[in-house]
């Protein structure tokens, strides 16, 4: 995770932003490191706020009205969330007299009354859950990620939500809140599915990507909730590969938006002309998130499937995977040469066409720094995919329980992938047809208000508190 933070930061500074921008960027990065290494709940709270303040400023950096509003929305929601976290910290201190995660792990929570314990852990989890953006709390994310400057989106989506997920994992493990795990499976599966439906409905390229961040977080959460060594490995593996390929996608799409001057998937055309790297980046990123070999997304998604196999939530995840393929076929329309109304197929041939034919006057070359950042991420995405099984084995040993890593490059896995891609293509064709578009517009018009989100918030709190109590009887 620490490495990912470094990667994302390294890919960022190649932009035309000034020193103040870099300051907030570094502040955010420092805060994230601190969240990960701290062993104290209150320090975690402070680190979260350091991260958050940096991020609020970064999101609103371009000072557009949308950016400001998105940042304000995030500001309100995550501040309220972090207040709940503080409340949880207070309950922990009142009853246990300690805030050290180490002391708590050693069994200090054994003497706790179940009711208080449940509400404290619920407050902590919901507080961080807002940052992690699984479904009831996700509403800030598409706005914030879509309107942030492009490299900031890459950082936000690639690393920030993983950091809060990691913090949540540490808290749940420290408090031994095992009863919450099935809840995580279901929340994760529902998150994956709902977010994909919304992603399919989007026209805005960056917002589409943002919804996919939520969806992929759902995959990670569900896999982690399955709670065996293989599942944990799959969750961490998917977290790392998602960080890499989503950073890549956001950078590429961001550059593409700048070059074509439009955010609409249906208007952006021929963006890759004069910059083959852009096309390769987009295709590789889309292939990785759809789980096509040999990208890292394929390896980690196979692991997630293997870990979840047989669970009822598995079905939801499969549908979500099909949806992912479909929406990236939709996104890859931007590679098509200028106006021709057919559906894109995500392969290099279209990119080549885009370079040759005439159209939008954007045939300029890619700046070196941006190109370098894209190339580094590209190599990482493919590289971690090719040696993925070996890496997963190593990760399993790090997690502590040596798990049996299934061979992901088996023929059955490949057949499975082909099936998913095929279904995805059909779905994409459906979504792009006129009735599909109308439904999509209806769906994307549904956006909860702040008040509704706060109601979700309290509901989530009650849910998190009740589930362990009910499980305990």
Partner 1 sequence: MMTQILTVLAFLLMALGVWGLMSRRHLIRIIIGFSLLDTGVHLLLVAFGYRSGGTAPILSDGIGVSGLVSGAVDPIPSALVLTAIVIGLAVTALMLSFAVRMYARTRSIYIDKNKELKW
Alpha-carbon distance of 169 to 165, in angstroms, equals 6
Cα dihedral 158, 288, 187, 44, rounded to 10, equals: -20
Segment 124 to 153, residues that bind partner 1, using CB under 8 A: 143
Considering only 8-16, 65-73, 304-312, 371-379, which stretch makes contact with partner 1 by CB under 8 A?
65-73
27 binds partner 1 (CB under 8 A): no
Judged by CB under 8 A, the residue of 46, 116, 439, 463 near partner 1 is 46
Q: Tokens standing for 14?
A: 């190649």
Judged by beta carbon, residue 76 or residue 409, the one nearer partner 1 is 76
- Based on the shown chain and the rule CB under 8 A, indicate whether residue 69 belongs to the binding site for partner 1: yes
Nearest residue (CB) to partner 1, 364 versus 447:
447
Contact stretch for partner 1 (CB under 8 A) within 70-78, 197-205, 236-244, 256-264: 70-78
CA angle 289, 294, 300 (to 5 degrees): 55
Least distance from C-beta 142 to partner 1, angstroms? 9
Contact 396, 402 (CB under 8 A): yes
Q: How far is the CB of 203 from partner 1 (least distance, A)?
A: 14
The answer to whether 90 contacts partner 1 (rule: CB under 8 A) is yes
Among 86, 179, 372, 463, binds partner 1 (CB under 8 A): 86
What's the token pair of residue 430? Answer: 């459906």
CA gap 340, 350 in Å, rounded = 12
Told to check if 398 binds partner 1 by CB under 8 A, we report no
Question: 357-362: which pairs have CB atoms within 8 A and are 24 or more residues apart?
Answer: 357/270, 359/269, 359/270, 359/273, 360/260, 360/269, 360/270, 360/271, 360/273, 362/259, 362/260, 362/270, 362/271, 362/273, 362/274
Q: Which residue has the tokens 């079905």?
A: 315
Phi, psi for 448 (deg, rounded to 5): -65, 145
Minimal distance in Å, beta carbon 453 to partner 1? Answer: 9
Helix and strand counts by DSSP (H, E) for the chain: 21, 0
Which is closer to partner 1, CB of 78 or CB of 215? Answer: 78
- Give the per-residue contact string, 432-451, with partner 1 (x = CB under 8 A; - = no): ---------------x-xxx
Phi and psi (nearest 5°) for 338? -45, -175
Per rule CB under 8 A, is residue 456 in the interface with partner 1?
Answer: no
Nearer to partner 1, 31 or 388 (CB): 31
The number of angstroms, rounded, from the C-alpha of 136 to the middle of its chain's C-alpha atoms is 15
From candidates 11, 21, 31, 73, binder to partner 1 by CB under 8 A: 73
Residue 259: which of 283, 279, 284 has the closest Cα? 279
CA angle centred on 328, ends 295 and 367, rounded to 5° = 75
Q: Is the dihedral of CA 223, 225, 228, 229 positive or negative?
A: positive
72 binds partner 1 (CB under 8 A): yes
| Identified binder of partner 1 from the candidate list 4, 11, 38, 71, rule CB under 8 A | 71
The correct pick among 32, 35, 75, 329 for binding partner 1 (CB under 8 A) is 75
Should residue 16 be labelled a site residue for partner 1 when binding is judged by CB under 8 A? Answer: no
3-state secondary structure of 101: helix
Residue 236 DSSP symbol: H
> Per-residue x/- marks for partner 1, 93-112, CB under 8 A?
xx------------------
Residue 76 is a binding residue for partner 1 (CB under 8 A): yes
CB of 176 to partner 1, least distance (A): 24
Of the chain, the end-to-end C-alpha distance in Å amounts to 37
- Binding of partner 1 by 42 (CB under 8 A): yes
Return the residue of 1, 30, 87, 425 that touches partner 1, per CB under 8 A: 87
Q: Tell me if 53 contacts partner 1 by CB under 8 A.
A: yes
Query: Minimum CB separation from partner 1 for residue 454, in Å?
Result: 5
> How many of the chain's residues bind partner 1 (CB under 8 A)?
36
User: Where does this chain bind partner 1 (CB under 8 A)?
Assistant: 42, 45-46, 49, 52-53, 56-57, 60, 63-66, 68-69, 71-73, 75-76, 79-80, 83, 86-87, 89-90, 93-94, 143, 447, 449-451, 454-455
């Amino acid at each position: 995770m620490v490495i990912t933070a470094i990667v994302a930061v390294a890919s960022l500074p190649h932009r035309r932003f000034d020193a103040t921008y870099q300051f907030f960027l570094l502040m955010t990065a420092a805060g994230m490191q601190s969240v990960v290494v701290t062993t104290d709940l209150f320090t975690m709270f402070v680190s979260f706020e350091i991260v958050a303040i940096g991020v609020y400023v970064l999101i609103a950096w371009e000072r557009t009205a949308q950016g400001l509003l998105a940042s304000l929305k995030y500001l309100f929601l995550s501040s309220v969330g972090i207040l709940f976290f503080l409340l949880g910290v207070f309950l922990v201190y009142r009853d246990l007299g300690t805030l050290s995660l180490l002391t708590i792990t050693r069994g200090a929570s054994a003497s706790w009354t179940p009711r208080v314990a449940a509400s404290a852990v619920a407050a902590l989890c919901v507080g961080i859950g807002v940052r992690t953006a699984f479904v009831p709390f996700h509403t800030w994310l598409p706005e914030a990620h879509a309107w942030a400057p492009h490299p900031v989106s890459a950082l936000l989506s690639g690393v920030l939500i993983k950091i809060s997920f990691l913090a949540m994992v540490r808290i749940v493990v420290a408090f031994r809140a095992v009863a919450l795990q099935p809840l995580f499976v279901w929340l994760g599966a529902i998150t994956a599915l709902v977010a994909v439906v919304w992603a399919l409905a989007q026209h805005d390229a960056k917002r589409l990507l943002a919804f996919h961040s939520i969806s992929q977080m759902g995959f990670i959460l569900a896999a982690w909730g399955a709670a065996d060594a293989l599942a944990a490995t799959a969750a961490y593996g998917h977290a790392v590969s998602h960080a890499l390929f989503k950073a890549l996608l956001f950078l590429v799409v961001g550059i593409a938006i700048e070059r074509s001057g439009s955010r609409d998937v249906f208007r952006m055309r021929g963006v890759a002309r004069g910059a083959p790297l852009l096309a390769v980046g987009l295709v590789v990123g889309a292939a990785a998130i759809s789980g096509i070999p040999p990208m890292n997304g394929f390896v980690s998604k196979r692991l997630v499937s293997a870990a979840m196999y047989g669970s009822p939530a598995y079905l939801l995840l499969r549908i979500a995977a099909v949806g992912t393929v479909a929406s990236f076929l939709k996104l890859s329309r931007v590679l098509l040469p200028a106006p021709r109304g057919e559906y894109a197929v995500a392969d290099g041939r279209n990119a080549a066409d885009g370079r040759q034919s005439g159209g939008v006057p954007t045939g300029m070359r890619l700046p070196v720094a941006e190109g370098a950042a894209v190339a580094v991420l590209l190599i990482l995405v493919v590289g971690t995919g090719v040696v993925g099984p070996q890496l997963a084995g190593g990760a399993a040993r790090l997690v502590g329980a040596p798990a049996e890593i299934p061979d992901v490059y088996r023929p059955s896995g490949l057949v499975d992938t082909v099936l998913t891609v095929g279904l995805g293509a059909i779905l994409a064709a459906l979504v792009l047809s006129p009735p599909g578009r109308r439904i999509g517009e209806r769906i994307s018009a549904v956006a909860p208000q702040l008040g509704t989100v706060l109601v979700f918030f309290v509901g989530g709190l009650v849910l998190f508190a009740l589930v362990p109590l009910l499980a305990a009887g």
